[in-house]
Structure 1
């Protein structure tokens, strides 16, 4: 039985980097979506949520064109670094960030909305600056949203297939993630390896969800008991 452990390491790196980037990128976006009164907020929300309903291969196809050296961001990146975004780990990261954006933005936006303006206004009356109010009040009260966002993004990136296959292809050690390795094992009738890789992914996903639900329950208990 041949298990591609290199694909597991690459997938974990991709999921970790994507999660870290999105927790930063989604924070100002979620804050703006939660509090902006602009009439076109709904358009931005729809655009952010588009990966939830758009087939992965469709998004992968358009990103493949966008990343191509022929023009746009792909040409700019090639000029800057001398490397193509397509079929590269950097391209996988950017594609994963775009594809997983709603999985980070929506939980954080919901957490910001649950804080309420009353808490923020109370901090303002006590003389706290906007940054102090955000870091001392909003962020601690939104930790469950951030935890949910981190888990959803990480788990979603682990299971990505259509987008990563379109953008990265199947280059061992560079773009070959677990979902692609699993697909190849099934295609070559190597069901033993496919079963093992699928079972490992299933176990990782279950453990991650178990930890998250446990932390959320503990957090809810502390809030309910006033700790």
Structure 2
């Protein structure tokens, strides 16, 4: 059975996932577009920096975020000097940690989708005096909506399962910073395997649904973009003999 503390953890987890995903989409959209259009020898370095959370141990990332956001850190110390509270062991701190840790899951699907947009469509729109923002929202966004959906779904799902980062930067304060993953850890420590199993099973089922949805979207998007590219690159059969 799910107890009231677990319901609090579920509520905080969902709130964290929603807020983090919204911020990630706002940050990832211009960053992914810039990376998809960038022609520079430093591009691999920039892409590696964005993808770093994929290979960096969560506790390492969480530790440095804790140092930065804590009372002695650059961010936390500055806030305290201004009469405000530092961000360690708080919900805003959890949001910052989640955004940093899930950034690749938002940027990479968008960057891949942007890279597949036929350039001739953008060139044609430019000849019709469409401004860059007009081209982006009238051509690019409709053609890459699958990328936005994939980025949003993966970011949301990844936030639900975070453990190392949220434990380091948020602690495990019931009703404030305790999320589902840390609640499972508490249940296991107290040998409450039934409670841990209930929460774990919920995350497991949700993960399967999310992955099935993402693979389905990617397969459909591949057919759609393939048809779009094909229709724009097909040449007339008739020609000079």
Q: What is the match of residue 71 of structure 1?
A: 73
Does the aligned pair in 1 maintain the 2:109–2:150 contact within 8 Å? yes
Q: What is the match of residue 16 of structure 1?
A: 18
Is 1:198 aligned to residue 200 of structure 2?
yes
Q: In structure 2, how many angstroms separate the alpha carbons of the residues matched to 1:82 and 1:49?
A: 32
TM-score (norm 2): 0.87
Shift of 1:71: 3.4
Residue 55 of structure 1 is aligned with which of 46, 54, 57? Answer: 57
Residue 127 of structure 2 is aligned with which of 120, 125, 128? Answer: 125
Structure (1 or 2) with the larger CA radius of gyration: 2
Count of residue pairs the alignment pairs up:
226
Instruction: Give a deviation string over 1:108-130, Cα, whole Å, max 9, x none.
Output: 00011000322211111122111
Q: In structure 2, how many angstroms separate the alpha carbons of the residues matched to 1:37 and 1:2?
A: 52
Q: In structure 2, how many angstroms separate the alpha carbons of the residues matched to 1:17 and 1:2?
A: 24
Q: What is the match of residue 87 of structure 1?
A: 89
Q: In structure 2, how many angstroms separate the alpha carbons of the residues matched to 1:214 and 1:39?
A: 34
Q: What is the match of residue 108 of structure 1?
A: 110
**What are the ranges of 5 or more consecutive residues in structure 1 without an aligned counterpart?**
none
Q: What is the match of residue 181 of structure 2?
A: 179
Does the aligned pair in 1 maintain the 2:150–2:217 contact within 8 Å? no
Quick one: structure 1 residues 137 and 217, their matched pair in 2 at CA, closer, same or farther if it must change by over 3 Å? same
Shift of 1:210: 3.5
Q: In structure 1, how many angstroms separate the alpha carbons of the residues matched to 2:67 and 2:221?
A: 44
Q: What is the match of residue 231 of structure 2?
A: none
Q: In structure 1, how many angstroms separate the alpha carbons of the residues matched to 2:112 and 2:225?
A: 18
Q: In structure 2, how many angstroms separate the alpha carbons of the residues matched to 1:50 and 1:16?
A: 23
**What are the ranges of 5 or more consecutive residues in structure 2 without an aligned counterpart?**
229-241
Shift of 1:38: 3.0
Instruction: Give a deviation string over 1:43-95, Cα, whole Å, max 9, x none.
Output: 21111110000000111111111111113111223345621210000000001
Shift of 1:223: 6.5
SS at match of 1:115: coil
Shift of 1:152: 1.0
| RMSD, aligned α-carbons | 1.9
Q: In structure 2, how many angstroms separate the alpha carbons of the residues matched to 1:49 and 1:160?
A: 16
Q: In structure 2, how many angstroms separate the alpha carbons of the residues matched to 1:62 and 1:81?
A: 23
Q: What is the match of residue 5 of structure 1?
A: 7
Q: In structure 2, how many angstroms separate the alpha carbons of the residues matched to 1:223 and 1:42?
A: 25
Does the aligned pair in 2 maintain the 1:27–1:105 contact within 8 Å? yes
